[in-house]
């Protein structure tokens, strides 16, 4: 029993760190593509330029409308959830986080499928809509996908944890006649 409790708490701490770290990443980098440039100091804009050039990330260099819609969802739905999830997982024992965590996990994984598919299969030549911006070699594609992959894998882990953990499953209330 003690091993199960410590394993659960370890996973809760990992999830707490994930959500806590996601707050500055979202605010300082991801949202630069959907919020006015003037909100960001030149240093953060330069950090974004460095990242997009270094990792050849076409989605943040010249974001397509569909990608911007995902970032808008991150702003409106996910960002308010991050501090709540951070609190729930660091505190531990918050069974009420189950349903919101499942919704977050499924939503996030669903948005990552077209992102990862684009990074893996899109033609990033000059003839494409990405104007030659993007990874050219398979190694560059895998490197860029490794940046995005944790945002699929950790929500998958969260989903399985919420669905399978006996602690987070609601007890059935049976009516006695």
CB 72 within 8 A of CB 9: no
- The pTM of this model reads 0.89
One DSSP character per residue, 55-120 reads TT-HHHHS--HHHHHHHHHIIIIIHHHHHHHHHHHHH---GGGHHHHHHHHHHHHHHHHHHHHHHH
What is the average per-residue pLDDT within 70-99? Answer: 96
pLDDT range class, residue 171, cuts 50, 70, 90? low
Which residues, other chains included, contact 149 with Cβ-Cβ below 8 Å and sequence gap of 6+? 116
Which position has the higher pLDDT, 78 or 170?
A: 78
Give the span between the Cα atoms of 74 and 60, in whole angstroms: 14
Tens of pLDDT, residues 142-161: 999 999 999 999 999 999 99
Provide the residue ranges of all domains of the chain, joining segments of one domain with +: 2-164
Mean pLDDT of the chain, nearest integer: 91
The pLDDT assigned to 116 comes to: 97
pLDDT in tens, 93-132: 899 999 999 999 999 999 999 999 999 999 887 756 677 6
């Amino acid at each position: 029993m003690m091993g199960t409790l410590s394993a659960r708490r370890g996973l809760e701490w990992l999830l707490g760190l994930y959500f806590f770290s996601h707050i500055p990443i979202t605010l300082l980098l991801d949202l630069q593509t959907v919020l006015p440039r003037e909100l960001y100091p030149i240093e953060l804009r330069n950090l974004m330029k460095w990242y997009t050039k270094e990792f050849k990330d076409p989605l943040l260099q010249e974001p397509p409308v569909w990608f911007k819609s995902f970032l808008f969802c991150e702003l409106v739905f996910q960002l308010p959830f991050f501090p709540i999830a951070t609190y729930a997982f660091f505190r531990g024992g918050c069974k009420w986080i189950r349903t919101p965590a499942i919704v977050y996990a499924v939503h996030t994984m669903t948005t990552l499928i077209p992102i990862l598919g684009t990074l893996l299969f899109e033609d990033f030549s000059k003839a494409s809509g990405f104007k030659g911006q993007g990874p050219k070699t398979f190694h560059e594609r895998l490197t860029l996908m490794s940046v995005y992959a944790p945002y699929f894998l950790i929500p998958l882990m969260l989903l399985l944890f919420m669905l399978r953990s006996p602690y987070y499953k609601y007890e059935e209330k049976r009516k006695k006649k």
